[in-house]
Structure 1
Amino acid sequence: MNRGFRQLERIVSARQAAIRTKLPRRESERRTHPLSRHCEVLSAIETRLSLLKMSIMRYADEGHCCFFAGKVLDEIGSVCRSVQSTNGLSIRPYKLLHEMRDISSMAVEHFEDVLLPMIRRRISSG
């Protein structure tokens, strides 16, 4: 799952870069552009991935655990596919991102409440 997380990071980053190159430079024109909602959704995904990276992946990178939230990866992948397959005007960012936000928040909360104390005990005991 660590590899899946990294792969998803690269995919989101590449898609976001590709969309940003197609957007106008002026902010006023960007807001009304058909791809602006795509960019908004991908930015929200990138923010969630950063949150997961800061909370879970820093311990996974040090070898203390593995990324465990496969359902989060599945949901993010599903949102990415939805964004790619629709035109910008039919995307409702809040509705599309709601489930992903809930699941990723639960994963981070579970990690911090249950798994992180065990990892810290294991680290401190040597």
Structure 2
Amino acid sequence: DGEDVTEAIRHPRVSSQVSQVAAHLPVRKELLKAQRILASQGGVVMDGRDIGTFVLPNAPFKFFLTASLATRSKRRFLELKTKGIEVSLEEVEKEIKQRDFLDENRNCAPLVAAPDAEIIDTTTLTVEEVVEKITNRYWGRA
């Protein structure tokens, strides 16, 4: 319907439930169908933990972004703090660890880098540096 829900889906209340909801096969099947229809129309960039392995295994470009747990926790903590959401760094780290564990151990489409994905460790990179790496690869400059 054109409504931008970016902020709403990044709220801790939603983030903490994503892995559990995604583990339900009927939900995954419906989302998979919708994601593939969207991708078939072209000109799309998808972000998700199973896009390159499960949703679009034949995508021409796949990037698997990773970072240390400490870095991911700090980034998420600062993001939430900026939004006025009170949470401790320890809570954020615990939530990320739990989500990683659930996603890595689910039966359907567990979290793993696609064999043909370019792995980018973002631990010491800025957002701009990550974007530059990806766009350079896309335009054949890397």
Q: How does the TM-score come out when normalised to structure 2?
A: 0.24
Q: How does the TM-score come out when normalised to structure 1?
A: 0.26
Which structure has greater strand proportion?
2
Which structure has greater helix proportion?
1
